[in-house]
């Protein structure tokens, strides 16, 4: 498997370091950077990497697979691998590897003895220790009053043309990894680690095998250890741009790993329950060094848990007891804090709360009573009823079922107009006149709770030629809509979450052929365009972040189940 470094970072399980090609003003075609993916919402690009021969920079090409990255030039080459999460092992021949950083306030460089240099990258809240093993490190870092004004480190070869060095990332104490193993041993160690991870995942069919390898790598390489605000090992949405854990994205990753990597899957389920507020809600996202509480995300926890409970025989009462009270608290929060007009139907205060940030149902000023929100909450209450029953809390189970019945009744009375669901503005109950969004079909998660006539109209709407179902999957906005945008985020592109939710929903309603068809189109799009954050509905081109874990997760689920 080859990695396109312009789209997918070279990194590994549990590491906050990654390498990728990024364009710069000086070099719009891009060059190789060592990046910092700690959650501090500031600087990411740490060290740019270039090759030199005879003291001059030489053009190079960078290629990578899951375990080795290679920079090649006519004069020589440099290879890198990450045998440990905080360690980059480097070797080369015939060239010098130059590392350049543009220091910011308080960044500095320290001679650390024995030919080593410590880069104190305060602007990125981390440090990098450069240790030469073969050859030497030459540092140019002039001091200007309180910081280095510039920094260039050359890892130079020995007399025989060979170079070898280690970069240790050490955000806290300056600790070094294992410098005794050879480069070949380093490669063998990380190769075996990835092979073991990959081998436990289900295998897609032959047609999708290469995409399955990429999806496995994207998930494996996006994991980070518990640190700071992360109480458990988390899977970032990406180590490109979306290098945080968002409070609905993470559940798709848990689902994909539920039967192959149980502990990691359960860590994803519990991660946000660990940091739940006293009121009952979750932050919009969290990373090791940062979280944001301005928005929430839709309550799909009950739906995801139900999906896992149907497939995981290990999800017994011991596990369900851990989630029951926090899930109940999260459910109640929506009714206690997000129902300003008191009509019993909770609201989104912003498109970001729904996950469909700029979906066309938010053409009216929020708050908006999304029909998907009431549907997710009803499913969540059904799941709570099921869990309560398994825990012997029969009275509570009956109450959750009653509340779910009541909520579905209010949703149908309030938001079904006889032909389709609507997304009314809370208080006024006005609805947008323009747009044709797939979000209004998400109440299909209610399954047989919906009257047969309602189910039929929704499914017929999905099947209608030229509406949502394109060659590449389900568009989030009808391409014929005046508000459709090819790269319009939730105004057209194909996304993994609604694909997964709707495939699961319609399959449960007996529409097996339609579900399989949608899954097949989506998986082929991933195979052709990678694990992108979203895809052009008409061309299948990948958009935005090109190494997104929920896309990888949904691909693996659909490729192996559907």
185-223 pLDDT, tens digit each: 999 999 999 999 999 999 998 899 999 999 999 999 999
The contacts of residue 462 (CB under 8 Å, 6+ apart) are 441, 468, 469, 474, 502, 506, 514
Q: What CATH number is given for 204-561 in this structure?
A: 1.50.10.10
Q: Which of 16-30, 213-227, 482-496 bottoms out in mean pLDDT, i.e. has the lowest?
A: 16-30
CA dist 400 and 36 (Å) reads: 45
The phi and psi torsions of 127 (rounded to 5 degrees) equal -140, 150
Q: What CATH number is given for 17-173 in this structure?
A: 2.70.98.10
387-393 long-range contacts, CB within 8 A, separation 24+: 387/305, 387/320, 387/323, 387/324, 387/327, 388/324, 390/317, 390/320, 391/317, 391/320, 391/321, 391/324
Domain ranges within the chain, ordered by starting residue: 17-173, 204-561
Question: Could you tell me the pLDDT band of residue 301, with boundaries at 50, 70 and 90?
Answer: very high
What's the confidence (pLDDT) of residue 562?
76
Q: Are strands 116-121 and 143-144 parallel, antiparallel or unpaired?
A: unpaired
What's the confidence (pLDDT) of residue 175?
75
What's the confidence (pLDDT) of residue 143?
83
What's the confidence (pLDDT) of residue 24?
79
What's the confidence (pLDDT) of residue 307?
98
Ramachandran class of 154: left when φ > 0, alpha when ψ lies in -120 to 50, beta otherwise: beta
Question: Could you tell me the pLDDT band of residue 426, with boundaries at 50, 70 and 90?
Answer: very high
Do 134 and 162 touch, CB atoms closer than 8 A?
yes
What's the confidence (pLDDT) of residue 122?
85
Residue 518's H or E segment, with its range, is helix 512-529
CA dist 397 and 112 (Å) reads: 63
The reported pTM is 0.95
Res 41 pLDDT > 70: no
Question: Could you tell me the pLDDT band of residue 287, with boundaries at 50, 70 and 90?
Answer: very high
How many other CB atoms sit within 10 Å of the CB of residue 55? 7
The contacts of residue 82 (CB under 8 Å, 6+ apart) are 11, 12, 15, 17, 88, 89, 190
Res 433 pLDDT > 90: no
Give per-residue burial for 15-28: e unless 16+ CB within 10 Å, then b.
bbbbbbbbeeeeee
CA dist 22 and 108 (Å) reads: 24
466-476 pLDDT, tens digit each: 999 999 999 99
The contacts of residue 204 (CB under 8 Å, 6+ apart) are 211, 212, 523, 556, 559, 560
Alpha-helical (H) ranges within 310-435 are 317-337, 351-354, 371-390, 394-415
What's the confidence (pLDDT) of residue 417?
95
């Amino acid at each position: 498997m080859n990695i396109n470094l312009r789209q997918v970072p070279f990194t590994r399980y549990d590491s906050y370091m990654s390498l990728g090609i990024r364009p710069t003003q000086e070099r719009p075609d891009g060059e190789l950077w060592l990046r910092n993916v700690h959650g501090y919402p500031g600087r990411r690009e740490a060290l740019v990497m270039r090759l030199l021969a005879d003291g001059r920079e030489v053009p190079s090409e960078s290629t990578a697979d899951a375990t080795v990255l290679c920079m090649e030039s006519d004069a020589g080459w440099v290879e890198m691998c990450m045998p440990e999460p905080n360690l980059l092992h480097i070797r080369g021949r015939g060239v010098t590897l130059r590392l350049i950083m543009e220091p910011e306030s308080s960044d500095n460089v320290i001679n650390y003895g024995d030919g080593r240099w410590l880069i104190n990258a305060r602007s990125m809240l981390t440090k990098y220790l450069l240790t030469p093993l073969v050859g030497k490190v030459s540092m140019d870092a002039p001091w200007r009053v309180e910081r280095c004004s510039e920094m260039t480190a050359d890892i130079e070869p020995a007399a025989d043309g060979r170079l070898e060095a280690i970069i240790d990332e050490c955000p806290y104490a300056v600790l070094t990894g294992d410098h005794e193993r050879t480069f070949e041993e380093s490669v063998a160690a990380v190769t075996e680690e990835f092979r073991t991870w990959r081998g436990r995942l289900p295998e897609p069919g032959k047609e999708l095998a290469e995409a399955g390898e990429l999806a496995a790598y994207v998930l494996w390489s996006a994991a980070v250890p518990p640190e700071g605000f992360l109480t458990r090992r988390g899977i970032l949405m990406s180590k490109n741009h979306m290098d945080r854990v968002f409070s609905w994205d993470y559940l798709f990753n848990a689902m994909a790993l539920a039967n192959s990597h149980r502990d990691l899957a359960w860590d994803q389920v519990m991660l946000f329950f660990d940091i739940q507020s006293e009121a009952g809600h979750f932050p919009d996202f969290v990373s090791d060094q940062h979280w944001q509480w301005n928005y929430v995300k839709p309550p799909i926890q009950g739906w995801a848990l139900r999906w896992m409970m149907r497939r995981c025989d290990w999800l017994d009462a011991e596990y369900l007891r851990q989630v029951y009270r926090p899930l109940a608290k999260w459910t109640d929060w929506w009714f206690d804090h997000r129902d300003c007009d008191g009509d019993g139907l909770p609201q989104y205060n912003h498109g970001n709360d729904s996950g469909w940030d700029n979906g066309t149902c938010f053409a009216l000023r929020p708050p908006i009573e999304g029909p998907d929100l009431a549907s997710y909450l009803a499913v969540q209450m059904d799941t709570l009823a099921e869990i309560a029953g398994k825990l012997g809390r029969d009275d509570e189970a009956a109450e959750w079922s009653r509340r779910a019945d009541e909520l579905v009744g209010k949703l149908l009375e309030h938001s079904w107009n006889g032909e389709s669901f609507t997304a009314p503005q809370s208080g006024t109950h006005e609805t947008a006149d323009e747009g044709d969004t797939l979000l209004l079909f998400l109440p299909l998660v209610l399954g047989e709770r919906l009257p047969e006539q309602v189910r039929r109209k929704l499914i017929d709407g999905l099947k209608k030629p030229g509406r949502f179902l394109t060659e590449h999957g389900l568009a989030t906005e009808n391409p014929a809509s005046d508000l459709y945008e090819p790269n319009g985020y939730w105004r057209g592109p194909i996304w993994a979450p609604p694909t997964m939710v709707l495939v699961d929903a319609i399959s449960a309603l007996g529409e097996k052929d339609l579900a399989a068809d949608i899954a097949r189109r989506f998986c082929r799009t991933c195979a052709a365009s990678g694990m992108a954050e979203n895809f052009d509905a008409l061309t299948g081109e990948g958009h935005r972040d090109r190494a997104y874990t929920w896309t990888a997760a949904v691909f693996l689920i659909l490729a192996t189940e559907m």
